[in-house]
Homo-oligomer: A and B are copies of this chain.
């Protein structure tokens, strides 16, 4: 159903160019360019006058023209390769984007965001952006254990920063390392185990996310080594993987609770699964934390609205986004390839964890 209206399109105001400024200030276009870009070649008096005229006209450089002559796009890209199904359950991405923006908007650099169905589409998009010179660089999220992206971006020469840990290179020879910002999942996992082990838990299961993601692998590895270090039985302290959805989180919980020796504590890799797990416990009449302790990896309002409230690993995701953005800026400025570590998350102990 539509209601038509008049197009009523008044001719839009013409956007001023440096030519307009030049004419109005009585100087050449080059003088204007020098003046506005802080280049030498004009007197202070003239520079001030030109700047005032530009201000009056509300001039802003045409981004296309600037990109064409300057060989920059003043734009960076972020691709989200995700099945639509799991999109937007977590607050993670908007927070991250928000942090990224904070840094780049200060540099008049825009953020191109694209959601694609899978990794192949993501790679194709990088190729296109590169060929089109759409972006000056990209932020790569969700690094995988076998990741084709570092190799591709390296060969294209498209500056990139990997967000969330080092992507493990693919099988064929050594790809160029990409600059990275990462969180210390090992220490975070150790922190959680300290907490649970200290409370007396010996049967602890980690309901992890997608197995192909690098950070999932890191967390699983870390759980195993931390368990070993504490002399815990690795059949009773282990990880299972899911697709991050509430459905699989609940399903995994049911399966775990149905075993002969069910875990006394479960660590969920995101907030949604943790809440789903708590819900399964409630459905079975298992008291939390007495019958089952629950930890959520990543805090959110969700963790605070359940009963009991969920103990959660709190990260400042926006800060992580800022860090990633700063690193990409540094790389664009010709900085070295580095691996920068984000701040260590802390465990917010709430009522969902206690002695078994």
CA of A88 to CA of B302, assembled, Å: 12
Residue contact A15 to B245, C-beta cutoff 8 Å:
no
Which of B1, B8, B156 touches A13 (beta carbons < 8 Å)? B156
How many whole Å from A115's CB to the nearest CB in chain B?
5
Classify chain A: how many residues form its interface, as a range: 35 or more
Residue contact B250 to A305, C-beta cutoff 8 Å:
yes
Report A's interface with B, CB cutoff 8 A. 1-13, 15-16, 58-65, 67-68, 73, 75, 84, 87-89, 91-95, 97-98, 101, 105, 110-116, 127-128, 130-134, 154-158, 176-177, 245-246, 250, 272, 275-276, 278-279, 282-283, 300-302, 304-307, 318, 334, 336-341
Contacts A68-B64, A112-B112, A307-B279: A272 and B246 contacting too (C-beta < 8 A)? no
Residue contact A60 to B111, C-beta cutoff 8 Å:
no
CA of A158 to CA of B12, assembled, Å: 8
Given contacts A4-B338, A10-B154, A65-B68, 20 further A-B contacts (CB under 8 A): A1-B340, A9-B157, A13-B157, A15-B130, A58-B127, A62-B68, A63-B132, A64-B64, A64-B67, A64-B133, A84-B318, A88-B95, A93-B94, A110-B134, A246-B301, A246-B305, A275-B306, A276-B301, A278-B305, A279-B306
How many whole Å from A173's CB to the nearest CB in chain B?
14
Q: Which residues of B contact A157 (CB under 8 A)?
A: 9-13
When C-beta atoms are compared, the residue in chain B nearest to A3 turns out to be B339
Residue contact A98 to B110, C-beta cutoff 8 Å:
no
How many whole Å from A13's CB to the nearest CB in chain B?
7
Tell me if A's interface is mostly helix, strand, loop or mixed: mixed
Residue contact A338 to B3, C-beta cutoff 8 Å:
yes
Residue contact B112 to A97, C-beta cutoff 8 Å:
no
Q: Which residues of B contact A116 (CB under 8 A)?
A: 105
Q: Which residues of B contact A65 (CB under 8 A)?
A: 64, 68
